[in-house]
Amino acid sequence: MSYCLPFAAIDTRVFSDSYAVALQCRAELLTKLSCPIQSVPYLCSGTGPQGEQLITDTVWIGPENASRVLVLIAGTHGIEGFAGSAVQLDMLNLLVEGLIDIPDHTAVLMVHALTPWGYAWQRRCDAKGVDLNRNVIDFSRSLPENKAYDLLKSTLYLADSSPRKIALAEFEQQHGRVALEIALSGGQYSDPTGPFYGGTAPAHGRLVCEDLIQRYALQQRYLAVIDLHTGLGPYGYGEIICDHQPDSAGTRAAQHWYGDSVTLPLLGTSSSVPKTGLLDYVWHAIMNERSCYVTLEFGTFSTDQLFEILLRDHQLWSQDDNELARLKHRKIMRHHFCPNDQAWQELVLFRARQVIAQGLQGTC
Ligand SMILES: [Zn+2]
């Protein structure tokens, strides 16, 4: 499918230093837009490191009665909002300068900082340790089990990493790499202090999405949802991950709009393994046959590094008296999820422009 890539220089200054600065830049750009907008902020409980309020800021850009909507989500995983926010700011700049065309009958819904606590504190999860992208399950039923996680748990948080590395290597040798990654990152509901914990009730970001769907009657429109993530896959590459069922209208739409670079965890073609409780499922449930939800995942460093860094993060946050160590670790987290490297940032912005243009064209 042909699409129109915005022709404009890439400017990495859209990568902000903090959640608070990103929010301010965004607010300033929104005042410069000439098209109609509707802002709806969602207050989240808790505060940021400077005592600041935490808000998921949403804005509808374009006609209220648009039959097609591109939904651009940043910060599903808090800290990944650094890159997601930059992508949104880049698109707002292009809109302000008149360098991107939004097709007729189309609106853009930008969701900024879906997990604002994690963004502000530079963690993936929310204040309760919940991973929003494992939170979309039916909480009226018994919680899913992840027996392999429970089996490995005793080695995961040891200060000495050697026994953990041995245990993980043995598990991988016995069950394979995919099984290991599912054990660690597929989602677990038994250990609130551990990573990839899905919680016991709908999290803030899930409630925001459900409210947006209702508020804008999104089930009645054609949707291209792009959920921006970082930290998995090859350095600088933006992988389009589709978690619709392989033989479904959603997958057919994704492949038609975004082409052969679409990958499917359920077919084993993705950097991501199949996971429980994805945010996708809130949207899949209301989507029609001309809609799809994709994750645009920008790679940084290896998956083993990701696991080590996250395990350390959760270890530090489960103890009370090590604020200094947490502060130090925040920098490591930032480096993993949003490297301060102009080349990486340029790759992110270019690929995002490409995928957004494809998504805008797709719903037509
Ligand atoms: Zn993520």
DSSP class of 188: B
Domains of the chain: 12-137+203-303+339-362 (3.40.630.10), 147-196+305-334 (no CATH)
SS3 131: coil
Q: What pLDDT, on the 0 to 100 scale, is given for residue 323?
A: 87
Put residue 236 in one of left, alpha, beta given phi > 0 → left and psi -120 to 50 → alpha: left
CA 295–ligand 1 middle distance (angstroms): 9
Q: What pLDDT, on the 0 to 100 scale, is given for residue 158?
A: 83
Q: What pLDDT, on the 0 to 100 scale, is given for residue 111?
A: 98
CA 218–ligand 1 middle distance (angstroms): 24
CA 105–ligand 1 middle distance (angstroms): 31
How many angstroms separate the CA atoms of 160 and 50, rounded? 33
Q: What pLDDT, on the 0 to 100 scale, is given for residue 178?
A: 96
Q: What pLDDT, on the 0 to 100 scale, is given for residue 319?
A: 86
Q: What pLDDT, on the 0 to 100 scale, is given for residue 171?
A: 96
CA 34–ligand 1 middle distance (angstroms): 32
CA dihedral 83, 86, 91, 96 (to 10 degrees): 170
CA 363–ligand 1 middle distance (angstroms): 25
CA 324–ligand 1 middle distance (angstroms): 26
Give pLDDT < 70 ranges for the chain.
none
Give the start-end residues of each E strand in the chain.
37-47, 53-61, 68-74, 106-112, 222-235, 238-241, 262-263, 292-299
Q: What pLDDT, on the 0 to 100 scale, is given for residue 320?
A: 79
Length of the chain: 364
CA 337–ligand 1 middle distance (angstroms): 9
Q: Are 282 and 71 in contact (CB under 8 A)?
A: no
CA 97–ligand 1 middle distance (angstroms): 30
CA 98–ligand 1 middle distance (angstroms): 31
CA 32–ligand 1 middle distance (angstroms): 30
CA 290–ligand 1 middle distance (angstroms): 25
Q: What pLDDT, on the 0 to 100 scale, is given for residue 5?
A: 85
How many angstroms separate the CA atoms of 229 and 233, rounded? 11
CA 74–ligand 1 middle distance (angstroms): 10
Burial track 324-345 (b if 16+ CB lie within 10 A, e otherwise): eebeebbeebeebbbbeeeebb
